[in-house]
Structure 1
Amino acid sequence: MRFRAVDSFRGMAAIMVILFHLQHLNLLSGSTFIAKSDIFVDFFFVLSGFVMTHSNYDRLTNLVSIKAFMIKRFKRLYPLHLFTLLLVLLFELFRYGVNRFVVPLSNPVFAEDRSLTSFIANLTLTQSLNLFNDVTWNGPSWSISVEFYTYLAWALCLVVFRKNLLLLCSISFSLLAWFIVRHNGSIIYNYDYGFVRCVYSFLIGMLTYRLSRRLPSGFSYWQYSGAEIGLLGLTVVAVSSFTHAESWLMPLLFALVISVFSREMGVVSKLLVNDRLAFLGKLSYSYYLNHFVVLAVMDLLLFKLIKLPHSGAGELFFVFACLACIHVLSVFTYRHVELIFQSVSPDRASKTVTEMAII
């Protein structure tokens, strides 16, 4: 079973993260919703817990099953992570050439966040386990690092606790509550305590799936429609207005959104299951990992070298050019990098040209 409406949300959340990294533009700087859209990373974590519980909870019974699960997750996550890491390396070499032979750059080349040590850590997916003082290389990959080890911790705990969720969650949420209280309610961490942030949201996603399957679904189309519209409005308001001290509540809101929209029973979810929107969800991982290097390349080329003016029209052109390049690159990486270890359907290649025209 694929949760198509929620998949569409995943794609839109990835686009909001892209816009978050463009908030320095005058065109977008006035939007508090965009300024706080990095919180949608927690949407990914909650959704991951929801989906992993749906697809793997019953399969994780012993160490052998954990090994198979982790190999499968590694094959899904690592190819694109490695590809984008090498892209960032190539871009840094390009910057070195520009800085030496064309025009001096304001940001240093091969700075502390792009050192040999942090490159090796990125290769081992350990770059965000509180080893460095900032995000390194392909910045957004911090979440891939912590999510990979969250998968491992979750699978091991299910086996060790023999799926006694009452005991598992009592211990886990007691420790997480202690952390949240000690950090004044904030879960906005990445390179340092990103693992804790991911575990918190992932476990909420797991419980959401387990509880939502037991709740009655005998509500009408209009009741679901009202709930969906209300949740969309609440999400916009909450994302625009939450503070760090309230950030621990956001995964709970995302869990409610996922629970309601996963049933695909209301007017909004019926729109979201459209194939074109659902394809955005398929591209979301590529959007997320590709966008950082694309934005950096486009900024260097358009603003630094070509001298595109920072006018409203210039910045609007920059935004659409970036989104188009991210989309085209993501179609390529989804088809030829992400799925390199996955089973390939016969018509995969034939769909690529059509899919590239979606945005």
Structure 2
Amino acid sequence: MTQTVAQNGQGSKPASPYNHGEYFGALDGFRGVLALLVAVYHTPWESWFNNTPFMDQGTVLIDLFFVFSGFLMFRLYGDKIHDVGAGRAFMVKRIARLYPIHFVMTMMFLAFALARILAHKIGLSTQEAGEVLPFAAGAPENIWSLLSNLTLTQAMGLHDSLTFNPPSWTISVEFFAYFVFIAMLIWAPPKRAFHFGLIGAGVAGLYVFLASQKPNMDITHDLAFWRCLAGFFTGVIGARIYGIVIKDKSLNSVNSMSYTNILECAALLIYLLFVGYCGGKMQFLVGPVALLFVVVFAQDKGFISRLMMRPVFGYLAKISYSVYMIHVIIAIVFDMFGGRALSRIFGAGWHDTAVWGDLYILPYLLVVIGCAHLSVIYIERPGARLINHIFTRPKLASARQTG
């Protein structure tokens, strides 16, 4: 397979596995780590790690994903989408990337919902106070929420809570953010600093609006689209800043390794402190913090970047989307097993000491990684090929007829 290499003014960057001109190895590595952190964040059993300040405020981890996405989409496609045809081709690629595992996980959660109904009917489990069985009156999991999940509209303000596979809300809002991105590139492509200043003002306005509506950034099913837009276009601004940095020879001349390492350490420390100790309304300042993080680590220069470009983190990046999409159902299974089997073996308070909960996270993550690996091979890749074939077949047939 032929791989392309991008020049950044300081030599060549690593070969891109995506057949584009640029590959941001450190950001890719961080994406894999973030996916695992989100998987830990959603573990329902007691553990010391999940009760640290960093994980307690971990909802803003998601916003870095949005910023990553906006940065990468603008760097890779910002000069390639000029008309509706190019926009359509872009959306086909994104659907092929997002939908296969989303569809499979929606079906798995549907099966899980039906299994809960069956277990209740045969007396295997009883309905607890305040619990609503799936497809019962008032339940969030019903035929309408199933349809919204299948059409990727589940987080567009149609429901009062998350439904079926909880993490898929991000896929829903990012899918529709792509349409805004395409419309911008076709009808109002940003070229000058003034244009990006307007985008920045819009992003700031979105965060101000969200802060007026919510106590913190834990925004999912109702105003999540605006949260995603704010993060995504923060990434677009970051892509513009990065473009200036790598082209400006005066900025590139300041390339001593000690300076670069200090800058990376500072960016990482600021981000960690922000996530861990800035809760409540302070979380709405996530934009500039994530912007600094992305611009610094996109350059792939310092020792932290080189660490994140190691093969192990590259591997985590490749399976990160599957990790993100499948981990909740695995966490549920592990929690059920811990509550039933381990409680019988070690007693009902087996996880009262948080260290046991931390140890329990290790096999959980191993299973998540193993299942994600299989998901990439048997769901993501075949599903992407199928969708690409479906959307390109009419064009091929038309070409044969005219030929």
| TM-score, normalization by structure 2 | 0.79
Q: 1:95 Cα shift?
A: 2.8
Partner of 2:157: 130
Measure, in 2, the Cα distance between the counterparts of 1:178 and 1:36.
19
Secondary structure in structure 2 of the residue aligned to 1:307: helix
Partner of 1:9: 30
Alignment partner, residue 225 of structure 1: 261
Alpha-carbon distance in structure 2 between the residues aligned to 1:263 and 1:343: 32
Which residue of 2 is the match for residue 339 of structure 1? 381
Match of 1:109 in 2: 133
| Whole-angstrom distance in 1 between the partners of 2:84 and 2:342 | 56
Letter in 2 for 1:228: E
- How many Å separate the matches in 2 of 1:290 and 1:177? 30
Write the distance in 1 (CA, Å) between the matches of 2:373 and 2:337.
22
Stretches of structure 2 lacking an aligned partner (at least 5 in a row): 1-21, 246-250, 345-349, 387-403
Distance 1:201 1:84, change over 3 A: same
Which position in structure 1 is the counterpart of 2:228? 198
Q: Quote the offset at 1:163 in angstroms.
A: 3.4
- One-letter identity of the residue aligned with 1:331: H
* Worse-superposed segment, 95-104 or 262-271: 95-104
Structure 2 distance, partners of 1:82, 1:322, is: 23
Q: Which residue of 2 aligns with 1:246?
A: 282
Match for 1:310 among 317, 329, 351? 351
Deviation at 1:108, TM superposition (A): 4.1
Please, which moves more after superposition, 65-74 or 20-29? Answer: 20-29
Distance in 2 separating the partners of 1:22 and 1:36: 14
Query: 1:9: Cα distance to partner?
Result: 0.6
Are the equivalent residues in 1 in contact too, given 2:155–2:221 (CA < 8 A)? yes
Counterpart of 2:296 in structure 1 is 260
In the alignment, which residue of structure 2 is the partner of 1:356? none
Unpaired segments ≥5 residues, structure 1: 345-359
The structural deviation recorded for 1:174 is 6.5
Alpha-carbon contact 1:91-1:297 (below 8 Å) kept: no
Structure-2 residue corresponding to 1:41: 62
| Kept in 1: contact 2:140–2:162 (CA 8 A) | yes
Count of residue pairs brought into register by the alignment: 344
Give the alignment of 1:84-99 within 5 angstroms.
84-99=105-120
Q: Which deviations, in whole Å up to 9, do the C-alpha atoms of 1:20-66 show, x marking residues without a partner?
A: 11265143453111111121110000000010011111111011111
CA contact (8 A) 2:64 2:290 kept: yes
Q: Shift of the alpha carbon at 1:341?
A: 4.5
Q: Deviations over 1:269-293 (max 9, x none)?
A: 1111101111111111111111111
Change (3 A) 1:260 1:294: same
Once the 2 structures are TM-superposed, how far is the Cα of residue 340 of structure 1 from its aligned partner? 2.0
Output the CA distance in 1 between the equivalents of 2:87 and 2:50: 45
Structure 1 CA distance, aligned partners of 2:141 and 2:343? 26
Q: Tell me, in whole angstroms, the C-alpha distance in 1 between the residues paired with 2:205 and 2:270.
A: 29
The 2-side partners of 1:207 and 1:259 are apart by 10
Cα drift, residue 240 of structure 1: 0.7
TM-score w.r.t. the length of structure 1 is 0.88
- What residue number does 1:144 align with? 171
Q: Which amino acid aligns with 1:212?
A: Y
Residues 1:69 and 2:90 aligned together: yes
Native 8 Å contact 2:211 2:284 kept in 1: no
State the shift of 1:169 in Å: 1.7
The change in CA–CA distance for 1:341 and 1:90 in structure 2 (over 3 A counts) is closer
Q: Name the SS for the 2:155 alignment partner.
A: coil
User: CA 1:270/1:170 → structure 2, altered by over 3 Å: closer, same or farther?
Assistant: closer
CA distance in structure 1 between the partners assigned to 2:55 and 2:374 by the alignment: 27
* Percent identity over paired residues: 25
Rate the CA distance shift 1:268–1:180 in 2: closer, same or farther, 3 A: same
> Comparing 134-143 with 176-185, which one deviates more in the overlay?
176-185
- What is aligned with 1:183? 213
Counterpart of 2:310 (choices 274, 288, 298) is: 274
Offset of residue 317 of structure 1: 4.2
| Distance change in 2, residues 1:115/1:243 (3 Å) | same
Query: Do the aligned partners of residues 180 and 113 (structure 1) sit closer, same or farther apart at CA in structure 2, a change above 3 Å counting?
Result: closer
1:213 counterpart = 2:243: yes
1:155 to 178, 182, 188: 182
* Matching of residue 119 in structure 1 with residue 146 in structure 2: yes
Partner of 1:132: helix, strand, or coil?
coil
Closer/same/farther in 2, CA of residues 29 and 69 from structure 1, 3 Å limit:
closer
Contact 1:11 1:280 in 2 (8 A): yes
Cα distance, 1:6–1:125 mapped onto 2, change above 3 Å: same
Equivalent residue for 2:77, pick from 42, 53, 56 = 56
CA offsets per residue over residues 64-120 of structure 1, 9 Å max, x none? 111111111011100011111111112223333443343335444316221111011
Aligned to 2:271: 235
Deviations 1:284-329 (A, max 9, x none): 1111111111111221233135536324364234312221111111
Cα displacement (A) at 1:126: 0.3
RMSD between aligned residues: 2.3
